[in-house]
Amino acid sequence: MRISLRSAVAVSLAVLAIGFAGGALAAKEAAKKGIVQLSQADLKWHDVPNSPGLQQAEVYKKGAMQCGFTRFPRGTEVPMHTHTSDILGVVISGTFGSTDAEGNGKPQEVGGFQSIPGGFKHTTKCTAAADCTLFGCSPGPFDLKMSTAPAGKKE
């Protein structure tokens, strides 16, 4: 196959133009990015539907992924339930944890971490000593579905 000089130059210029346009768009998008910092006073708390006393403050969202804080009043116990998406969380205050029906899991103190796969049946508890605050991330929106499946199993 033989390519003429004119065709090669035209293709090269087109690729170069696309590269510049893509670079300009990338530069424009990069200009929107920067450090995001929020103090506790900046957090906008809202009640979690169908979960009396629970509150959340979203601090990051990109596509379906979201991260934020969740507050549980001291002594809160949520019976067996599931979430659609995985949830990763770190205890910021209080003592908080999740347990399956077989008793796997225990309350975590400040700095403790837990990961719960989407669809996995578990309970959660904030001990009576203090209110609990968690920082967590999930690849999808937060939901809470009271469970009817056998404990410790996905629904």
Tell me what the pLDDT averaged over the chain comes to.
Answer: 81
Contact 147, 115 (CB under 8 A): no
Look at 71 and 27; give whichever has higher pLDDT: 71
Given this model, what pLDDT does residue 153 score? 52
Q: Which two tokens stand for residue 101?
A: 């029906």
In angstroms, what CA-CA distances link 100 with 52, 105, 123, 146, 154? Answer: 22, 7, 6, 14, 11
Coil vs helix vs strand at 152: coil
Given this model, what pLDDT does residue 154 score? 55
Q: Which two tokens stand for residue 120?
A: 């996995």
Region 74-99 average pLDDT: 96
C-alpha 38/C-alpha 68 separation (Å) is 11
Given this model, what pLDDT does residue 32 score? 62
Tens digit of pLDDT for each residue in 83-95?
Answer: 999 999 999 999 9
pLDDT band at 6; cut points 50, 70, 90:
very low
Q: Which two tokens stand for residue 83?
A: 């979430």
Given this model, what pLDDT does residue 50 score? 76
* Topology classification of domain 40-146: Jelly Rolls (2.60.120)
Contact 97, 124 (CB under 8 A): yes
Q: Which two tokens stand for residue 93?
A: 């205050």
- Which residue is listed with tokens 């009271």? 146
At residue 56, φ and ψ (nearest 5 deg) are -130, 150
Region 30-34 average pLDDT: 64
For the chain, which residues make up each domain, given as ranges? Answer: 1-34, 40-146
- Which residue is listed with tokens 């087109």? 14
Look at 80 and 48; give whichever has higher pLDDT: 80
Tens digit of pLDDT for each residue in 50-73?
Answer: 787 899 999 999 999 999 999 999
Given this model, what pLDDT does residue 96 score? 97
The pTM (predicted TM-score) of the whole model is 0.72
